[in-house]
Amino acid sequence: MRDTKARLARTDFPAIRRRGVTTLQLNLGYLCNLSCVHCHVAAGPNRRELMDRDTVDTAIEFMTRHSIETLDLTGGSPEMNPYFRDLVRAARARGVHVMDRCNPTILGEPGYEWVAGFLAEQAVEVVASLPCYSEQNVDAQRGRHVFERSIAALQQLNRLGYGQPDGELALNLVYNPLGATLPPLQGALEDDYRAHLRDEYGIEFNHLFTLANMPIKRFGSMLLSRGEFGDYMTLLKNAYRRDNLAAVMCRDLISVDWRGRVYDCDFNQMLDMPLGAADTGGVHLADLLNQELDDAPIHVGEHCYACTAGQGSSCGGALNGAA
């Protein structure tokens, strides 16, 4: 992993600056009921890193002072953090839109039967991982029977009103390639997903987000072991589009890890590239309660080419409709 980080730290990626902070993204911990090959967090059932109560309270205070519009919850499986419900309720009480980056199989895990109903009750936007509409491809990437369990979870969410064309409960799906390739055009793939999932399983959803795989953590290590790291970086660089720079997530977001340390994005978090100068050792969210981040420089590296290649990809999927 150190070799991967060293390669990614040397970069000619363009310098960019933050516009402001309208989205607070919290990684509530690396505990997850799955261990997916592509996971840039290297989450799994044996991870024990979880955001504590004090850090959750600091995040609530930050939302209040900074007029945050969107709380973006990720993990691991964020619902496995014991303070997940308290955090969501506090955000919704303040009028903050909440996104839950949900591994849908968590809905069927013993002890987590409450998840679907709670999300619907709080009108949380669900962003559910479903890297393909093929059972074989999903299980190859995420584990045996994950596709079957994911389909059951999406059907459960539909029954609660999620994903309906005229409904208020948003259900968005996430696709990422199985290997070292760029995702296909988002619009066309969304049409394929919609037709297949509707015809085969009666599932409705709002949008599909296509994401490029980040060359870090498990996926980066796999590329290195196969001798494909250099080729993948060349692919990303050759597909770079300058106009994607205006829409990358880090322009309006900060990412906070389970300890409360702050980064420009979730991917920088995984590479231990903290907010601000590289030699500061990073800052805690509590240090920013009274500080504005408008026009602050963003810490970039070679991995940033994954967000700006082709259609571009960010936490909300493709950044433009171009090939």
pLDDT at 95: 97
- Point out the least confidently predicted range of 162-176, 218-232, 274-288: 274-288
Give the β-pairing of 253-256 and 262-263: antiparallel
Q: How far apart are CA 46 and CA 61, in angstroms?
A: 31
Task: Please state the domain extents for the chain.
Answer: 20-213+248-296
Q: Is the pLDDT of residue 278 over 70?
A: no
Which pLDDT score is estimated for 46?
A: 77
In whole angstroms, give the CA distance from residue 315 to residue 241. Answer: 17
Does the pLDDT value for residue 79 go beyond 60? yes
* Beta strands per DSSP E along the chain: 23-27, 70-74, 97-102, 125-129, 171-175, 207-210, 253-256, 262-263, 313-314, 317-318
Average pLDDT over residues 66-76: 93
Six token digits for residue 323: 């090939």
197: closest CA among 104, 121, 92, 64? 104
Helices (H), 228-304: 229-238, 266-270
According to the model, what pLDDT value does residue 214 have? Answer: 87
pLDDT number for residue 159 = 97
From 20-34, 55-69, 272-286, 299-313, the region with the lowest mean pLDDT: 272-286
Q: How far apart are CA 44 and CA 170, in angstroms?
A: 27
Q: What is the distance of C-alpha 64 from the center of its chain? A: 23
pTM for the full predicted model = 0.90
20-213+248-296: what fold?
TIM Barrel (3.20.20)
Q: Is 37 exposed, middle or buried (0-12, 13-18, 19+ CB in 10 A)?
A: middle
Q: What percent of the chain has a predicted confidence (pLDDT) above 90? A: 62
For residue 4, pLDDT over 70 is answered with no
pLDDT band at 39 (very low <50, low <70, confident <90, very high): low
Contacts of 83 (CB under 8 A, 6+ apart): 28, 51, 52, 53, 56
Check pLDDT > 50 for residue 321.
Answer: no
Task: pLDDT band for 36, please (50, 70, 90 cuts).
Answer: low
Query: What are 309's strand-pairing partners?
Result: 240
DSSP, res 112? -
Question: Residue 323 has what pLDDT?
Answer: 35
pLDDT tier for residue 38 given thresholds of 50, 70 and 90: low
pLDDT at residue 245 is higher than 70: yes
Q: Is the pLDDT of residue 234 over 60?
A: yes
Pick the range with the lowest mean pLDDT from 59-68, 86-95, 117-126, 291-300. Answer: 291-300
Region 303-311 average pLDDT: 92
Write the pLDDT tens digit of every residue in 257-277.
Answer: 999 999 999 889 888 888 865
- Which has the higher per-residue pLDDT, 144 or 126? 126
Share of the chain above pLDDT 70, in %: 87
229 — pLDDT class (breaks 50, 70, 90): very high
Average pLDDT over residues 17-31: 94
The CB density around residue 317, as the number of other CB atoms within 10 Å, is 21
The pLDDT of 125-154, averaged and rounded, is: 79
Tell how strand 207-210 and strand 125-129 pair up: unpaired
**Separation between Cα atoms, residue 121 and residue 258, nearest integer Å:** 26
CA distances in angstroms from 24 to 21, 31, 98, 125, 226, listed in the order given: 7, 20, 10, 15, 36
> What string of DSSP letters covers 160-202?
TTBT-TT-SB-EEEEE--SSSS----HHHHHHHHHHHHHHHH-
Confidence label for 1 from pLDDT (cuts 50, 70 and 90): very low
On the 0-12 / 13-18 / 19+ scale of CB atoms within 10 A, 219 is buried
Cα 273 to Cα 250: distance, rounded to the nearest angstrom: 13
